[in-house]
Amino acid sequence: MSPTPSPNPNPSPTMPPRHHPGEELLLAHAAGTLGAGPGLIVAVHLEACGACRALVAALEVAGGVMMAELPPVPMSSLALERALAAIERPGAVAVAVTGAGAVTGAVAAPKVPAGLELPLALRGRDVGPWRWLAPGMRWSRVAVPEAPRANVVLMRGRPDRLLPAHGHRGSEFTQVLCGAIYDGDVRYGPGDMFVADDATHHHLRVADEGECLCIAAIEGRMRMSGLIGRIVQPLVGP
Amino acid sequence: MSATEGPAAGAPAAGAPAAGAPAAGARAGDEWSVALLAVARGRDRRAFAALFAHFAPRVKAFMMRAGMAPAAAEEIAQEAMLAVWRKAELFDAARASAATWIFAIARNLRIDAARREGRANACLDHDGDGLLTPDPAPMGDALLLCAEREGAVRAALAALPEEQAAIIRLSFFEEQPHGQIARQLHIPLGTVKSRVRLAVARLRKALEERP
């Protein structure tokens, strides 16, 4: 993985995203109450979307106001003394990024389409090898060591391929990194994010314009239908 | 300091697309931002003590309101203030107020604490690393809002109808916001959601009107 950060996961952002996380999701993100998996997907969307970044920044202002308006709870009598002592200790404050569970860098960074930079939010995360999902469709797991139960995957599809029809028990949060995907007539292009919940049973098809790469956080289990679905089910279950 | 640890690090600060150009010339904004700048530029201990006296009890209140025990809330408040000292150079008064910036630090520590707790319950083996892993939501996002916009957002917030303001307030304090809020206020979940949308739409409008 390249050590040079690039602020934009989309190499040619000709159009701003058209499908955004809902207000509730952005508010939960700003409040810090969103789960690690969906939070990662929203973070990837924010990298690609200035409008949502501005809105989250506004919601963070709201957070600061809400915190400031709470009746303050006095700290213990020695709290300031402790803090002043702590800032004098050399190295006492800086925390080294070492030890169990620290992110170790990609073990097997998946091959991504030429020209695509993985989003900053994914840099330094372990990404597993590509695995078969369906004809022309592959997936790989993105490690979320800070929340091991989070289920985050990259999905890659060749043009015009279908993802097996599936429903959900829980929600699935998807961000398109490159290429485009259709759910019925609705097109999701680079930078777009969409959420599927219990009520959704969708038929996703990769647009014929090129390879598509998405990142998705899956909460609960997907319910696959059809023969391929039953074969694939054990692979993508959490 | 790791590239993903600090408020500004990891965020597309320089040359960030959209979100408006930051205001030209740093504007201190308010007394707390001035104090924070004094810490950043001169490692000013008196300024730090003043920030501590003002913000530590508010961070503690925020953590307790979010359901944390007083001792744990006090520890997080300590941690937050040490982070303020350590990361002060990353604060940009042209883009956010001290209150917003310190809120973002406190919020991230709360996320880390919740994750440590979740892992302890699940008997998993990564305990203690919550603070060390990259933050999927860089606090730099907080810095993309210039001080002028922050004023517009504060005004819009102050003008929200109380029923909407209450929902936004609770959204910052409850872990599972919307279901709990619906139960607490005895209103349907759909009503909570529509009030969130209305309130956020007003903040969005405030942003659009003050480019």
Minimal CA separation from A203 to chain B, in Å = 27
Give ranges for CATH 1.10.10.1320 in chain A.
Answer: 23-75
Instruction: Give me the tens of pLDDT residue by residue for chain B, a chain 211 residues long.
Output: 333 333 333 333 333 333 333 333 334 458 899 999 999 999 999 999 999 999 999 999 999 998 899 999 999 999 999 999 999 998 888 778 899 999 999 999 999 888 887 655 433 333 222 222 333 344 444 344 466 778 888 899 999 999 999 999 889 987 766 788 888 888 998 999 999 999 999 998 887 775 5
Q: Which among A53, A93, A146 has CB closest to B19?
A: A53
> Is the Cβ–Cβ distance between A168 and A180 less than 8 Å?
no
Cβ under 8 Å to B: A residues 179-238: none
Q: What value does the CA radius of gyration of chain A take, rounded to a whole number of Å?
A: 20
Cβ–Cβ contact B131 with A under 8 A: yes
Helix-strand-coil split of chain B, %, nearest 5: 65, 0, 35
Cβ–Cβ contact B15 with A under 8 A: yes
Q: What is residue B14's DSSP assignment? A: T
Cβ distance B172 to A26 less than 8 Å, yes or no, reads: no
Cβ–Cβ contact A103 with B under 8 A: yes
Minimal CA separation from B182 to chain A, in Å = 14
| Fold exhibited by the domain A120-236 | Jelly Rolls (2.60.120)
Question: Which residues are registered as beta bridge partners of A205?
Answer: A162, A182
User: What CATH number does the domain located at A23-75 have?
Assistant: 1.10.10.1320
Q: What is the pLDDT of residue B50?
A: 97
Length of chain A: 238
Q: What is the pLDDT of residue A94?
A: 47
Taking 50 as the pLDDT cut, the residues of chain A under it are 1-12, 92-106, 238
Mutate one of A59, A118, A142 to test the B interface: name it (highest B CB count within 10 A): A59
Q: Which residues of A touch B36 (CB under 8 A)?
A: none
Cβ distance A87 to B136 less than 8 Å, yes or no, reads: no
The structure tokens listed for A182 are 């259709």
Helices B189-209, B147-158: crossing angle, 10 deg rounding: 140
Tens digits of per-residue pLDDT, A111-134? Answer: 777 777 888 888 888 888 898 888
Residue A132 CB neighbour total at 10 angstroms: 12
Cβ distance A31 to B19 less than 8 Å, yes or no, reads: no
Minimal CA separation from A162 to chain B, in Å = 30
- List domains and CATH numbers for chain B: 1-11+25-144 (1.10.1740.10), 146-211 (1.10.10.10)
Cβ–Cβ contact B180 with A under 8 A: no
Cβ distance B207 to A54 less than 8 Å, yes or no, reads: yes
Closest-CA residue in chain B for A99? B129
Cβ under 8 Å to B: A residues 57-96: 57-76, 79-80, 82-84, 86-87, 93-96
Cβ–Cβ contact A105 with B under 8 A: no
Sequence-distant contacts of A107-115: CB under 8 A, at least 24 apart: A109/A1, A110/A140, A110/A154, A110/A156, A112/A156, A112/A177, A112/A178, A112/A213, A113/A178, A113/A179, A113/A210, A113/A211, A113/A213, A115/A11
Length of chain B: 211
Instruction: Tell me what ipTM this predicted complex has.
Output: 0.79
Distance CA A30, CA A139 (A): 29
Give ranges for CATH 2.60.120.10 in chain A.
Answer: 120-236
